[in-house]
Structure 1
């Protein structure tokens, strides 16, 4: 019988090219990696890797068994994921991912209090990120998401529209005025997302409508855009639900049709069928008016 820990070490060496890098990936020391790899080779009676000055290279046998080791790894990961899912189901935990400002508004609205009162055996836990959390990998159970989605895999429903407009601080407008249309954006310092978020629709849109625009600030989150706009350094596209709520900001124009996207409540089909996720979907549907106000800032 092969020990899973030894196969795991073999996979890590194959993926990382050295026992040192494999140890870092597995969070064990290099000598443990070398010992387990040697133990696996001794069981097989053949070498799995060639030890070279530049690192490790798989032998013919190592290459041949690699796909089978990967299958074992996938099965082991699936086993761990299923155990974690059963534990969450038993505890009634629903992991909801959404942008941080939306989580704040959900809490402030009292909606979650009403959900917990209606389903006292269930509990919402937030997985907060401005980047998409992967539902297919089980990183969360439910997503509140606007923009492009894995619509062919995930299931859900539209619950509102994501509306964006252009904002600047009152101080900025008093000193410099503000753009009154898209065509005037390039005349003002812009606030946008960092290069790491160049695929975001806001980044793409700004590049299209103001290709020669100068940027006063780049951020990696919507909250960062808000803080930069409030600091008065330039103009920024912001969700109207957040921008309109800031007394220090002025909506210059918008909503902008090109930036409008549906807000959707999404889940993996397997998760959607669980009792806890189904209960959450049902509740959110019943709270449609409250959700619209939270997500759009409009009643």
Structure 2
């Protein structure tokens, strides 16, 4: 009996998402195809792996027993895929970089410089709050504020940044208390929703507001930025985002809250020529813009700050 690995991938995706439609979207294939491949797998194994229910798919006992075996095959296949990518001697191809919205906002003006440093590499920007799974090659590189506790991940520090309170000039004209310490009780605020307040600046804001909630909340950093620029309220932004907005005025720098940024790669992918070159280019770009990243007034004053500089990747 031979198994088609693609059928097992479909099985694991259904396990993860709970229904055929969500699994098909994740796999980027049609729902009928997912259904046919699952049926073929069940026929090949001679047993039913799921009970079809009105609200989704429920694993049978045999399906539950198959999960760890399929996951082991997935890990092995991913390892082969990573090693295959690292064998190539050509510095070309596609490098997929996972990051959240504000990092993308900072990085977009630097894309021409990245292209000059990596002329034969195509760049994919994957915008997400949750870190991509490097073991499964959901991305080749990750840029994040925190280091995940994941084995086989190599991290390089890109730099350090502060947060500040910002408002549009229009909002300040309408609500002069925005310029005073009364702003936390007198003004409207824009922030992430409850599921996305993991960033240090947002956690600080929620503590300052106490029982008050921001009047506008979103799960998207660009929406939050645009709402602040539109005059919907005050908000906390990384200085490397807020300082670059001509329509915003910085009201207060948050001295006791800051974050580090890291560039992460799977150990197996570190030797891929394209990934390695992109890492070197990103380290250079962030080093070249360390004053913007750190916050303009902090950069000149922070005598004890050691900015990131291009680091050896060995």
1:2 partnered with 2:11 = no
Contact 2:166 2:242 in 1 (8 A): yes
Match of 2:45 among 28, 40, 43: 40
Give matches, 1:170-181, under 5 Å. Answer: 170-179=169-178
Q: 3-state SS of the aligned residue for 2:164?
A: strand
Match of 1:44 in 2: none
Flag the 1:288–1:52 CA change in 2: closer, same or farther, 3 A. Answer: closer
Match of 1:158 in 2: 157
Distance 1:51 1:280 in 2: 46
1:262 partnered with 2:263 = no
Match of 1:75 in 2: 76
Which structure 1 segments of 5+ residues have no match? 42-46
Match of 2:312 in 1: none
Distance 1:151 1:9 in 2: 25
Match of 2:306 in 1: none
Contact 1:98 1:144 in 2 (8 A): yes
Distance 2:104 2:80 in 1: 31
Report the TM-score, using the length of structure 1 for normalisation.
0.74
1:91 partnered with 2:92 = yes
Flag the 1:65–1:196 CA change in 2: closer, same or farther, 3 A. Answer: closer
Report the TM-score, using the length of structure 2 for normalisation.
0.71
Flag the 1:85–1:297 CA change in 2: closer, same or farther, 3 A. Answer: same
Contact 2:10 2:23 in 1 (8 A): no
Q: 3-state SS of the aligned residue for 1:166?
A: strand
Aligned residues: 287
Flag the 1:7–1:205 CA change in 2: closer, same or farther, 3 A. Answer: same
Worse-superposed segment, 278-287 or 3-12: 3-12
CA RMSD across the alignment = 3.9
Q: Which whole-Å deviations, capped at 9, do the CAs of 1:29-77 have from their partners, x for residues lacking one?
A: 6566445423421xxxxx5569799986645x66655543443344345
Distance 1:98 1:51 in 2: 37
Distance 2:270 2:155 in 1: 8
Larger Rg: 1
Instruction: Tell me by how many angstroms 1:216 deviates.
Output: 1.9
Distance 1:91 1:138 in 2: 17
Match of 1:239 in 2: 238
Distance 1:159 1:16 in 2: 33
Match of 2:303 in 1: none
Which structure 2 segments of 5+ residues have no match? 25-30, 300-314
